[in-house]
Structure 1
């Protein structure tokens, strides 16, 4: 006679817990601190060693020696489109349109606050570093003021980042296209300043870093204020990029 074995129940499989998404505030803080660290490292290298200044001069000198007229004409158009005046106008228009469509003052207040931060950082750092521009014989266009950081690079990157936060926080369907387009525009404006001989490469890099620092700080404040407002009103905080 065969004895049957009583099968024991298998141990239950523990449910897989989803990994919690990183807080948008934390992400913004980390990105801002990384950009700040990159800028400080760039600045320290510039003032403490001759290598970066020599590299900057060599690059601008080499470009000026082989700069064709056609390339200069294209770079003039790009640099004009990315000028602070043009970018500020773009930001004001976008903020007003979004404010009217959403029936909210938030796009306008955020845009103006972010713009103020970008401009203060630009002017303030120029007065602190007081780096002269490349020599006149290397320039293809007229330019005045100090060189570090590049105002065109800082303001164009800052404005496009501000617009990205305003638009993509509500609609992320075109996130990839917007990121690529904005990134190419930022790079094009920065490159145009070096090709035209009015800025050194490190000026442009510094402008990009400071744009992230300025906009990142404003975004952190905006996210914290929104979270507190939603908490006080009893609303469920809207997740960034939820497409609502």
Structure 2
């Protein structure tokens, strides 16, 4: 295979190893690189991290009573109990073909893996949370990256992905991804607004979730494509029935 034909296959819309796998690998690489750069910025307190205090001060100065009440509710959409509820919704409302345990297992892998990675990076970076007077919600542990932001990004993106597979029509696809994106942005903003995370914590959570979630679903699609190809290969190898 020439380099030209190999590149053409990587950019072709169809096929198990076409455009979608190329885009997926690029997303994983970009999110991983962005997370690493952001972590370095947080450790050195330079570049984007240097503006965290100013971003928090601006948000604190613009707090209002009704918005505070609303965002206290919104922030729970990225909590562990909501993640468990979304696993149930995915398993029973939009399962993948085959046994339901496969959908549940993949959702647990996405959300559980996200939580494990978040806690690992928190211990590695050991960044303190914003100063106590700015915090108007309970929070403990280290700050970078934001667990609620990461969990929301992983869970709602997975739900949108499953919805698109279940109902593959343009209206559902657009609605699912727009809805998931809106919830993820609101959860991230709520963490900044409530003073429990810095802006770069939220961005770090998004990047971590993007890298891990894309890895899980890409691996699933590759495994499914290979299994289907193996099944077709075995069927083609069987001799045709006489008559």
Please, what TM-score do these two structures have when normalized by structure 1? 0.82
Equivalent residue in structure 1 for 2:175, among 168, 174, 177: 177
Say if 2:52 is the partner of 1:48.
no
* Cα offset, 1:23, TM superposition: 3.4
Against the structure 1 CA distance between its residues 63 and 20, is the aligned structure 2 distance closer, same or farther, given a 3 Å change threshold? closer
For 1:43 and 1:35, the matched residues in 2 are separated by 12
Q: What residue ranges of structure 1 are gaps of 5+ in the alignment? A: 1-18, 236-244
Structure number with the higher helix fraction is 2
Change (3 A) 1:125 1:47: same
| RMSD value, Cα | 2.4
CA contact (8 A) 1:64 1:139 kept: no
**Relative to structure 1, is the Cα distance of residues 100 and 234 closer, same or farther in structure 2, using a 3 angstrom cutoff?**
closer
How many Å separate the matches in 1 of 2:94 and 2:168?
Answer: 15
| Contact in 1 for aligned 2:152/2:187 (Cα 8 Å) | yes
Query: 2:82 matched to which residue of 1?
Result: 86
| Aligned residue number for residue 12 of structure 2 | 20
Q: Which runs of 4+ in 1 moved over 3 A?
A: 49-54, 96-105
Q: Is the 8 A contact 1:82 1:189 kept in 2?
A: yes
1:1-244 to 2 correspondence within 5 Å?
20-21=12-13, 22-99=18-95, 103-173=99-169, 174-234=172-232
User: CA contact under 8 A between 1:92 and 1:111: conserved in structure 2?
Assistant: no
Equivalent pairs counted in the alignment come to 220
TM (normalized to structure 2)? 0.82
Deviation at 1:150, TM superposition (A): 0.5
Which residue pairs with 1:5 in the alignment?
none
User: Match of 2:196, SS?
Assistant: coil
